[in-house]
Structure 1
């Protein structure tokens, strides 16, 4: 009976892990012609108090690396058309 109970829980753990890895990639498939300019993104991110060190494209998102006012390193994903922040990772 124990092994039967573990199967659903093991499946849920796998699903949760796979989903968590995809949570921060919510940019969709926007045509490059519809992306906001890199300069507009730099302006937006600068207004957030972040010193931009690098901008890349990753999985359909703009990925910005930089430092906040406290010097903390951040990596932030932005939707390429709207400039909406879709995920963030940084120093703990």
Structure 2
């Protein structure tokens, strides 16, 4: 039960930590296309499980990095810079 409660608290805190993240003010015609962006992520070794555009003009991904760790990353869609990120080890069910 403690583990479940800890997971719920962590998920809630993580969501709050990223709320309101602003990545760019550039118009969307200056952004890298989603397809090109995903292709570059693939080249860098990311496995994308979920990809979305946030209200703060970010490309947000959930997936795994090249080391196989779970990640949540907010990218600037213009230059692909990381604005915020979080990663976890896969074995958090010990």
1:49 matched to which residue of 2?
Answer: 45
| Structure with a larger share of its residues in helix | 1
Q: TM-score, normalised by structure 1?
A: 0.64
2:60 matched to which residue of 1?
Answer: 63
RMSD: 2.1
Residue 28 of structure 1 pairs with residue 27 of structure 2? no
Structure 1 stretches of 4+ moved >4 Å: none
Q: Using a 3 Å threshold, how does the CA distance of structure 1 residues 70 and 83 change in structure 2: closer, same or farther?
A: closer
1:80 matched to which residue of 2?
Answer: 77
SS in 2 for 1:52: strand
Number of equivalences = 71
Instruction: Name structure 1 gaps, 5 residues minimum.
Output: 1-20
1:24-54 C-alpha deviation (Å, 9 max, x unpaired): 9351212112111011111111122111111
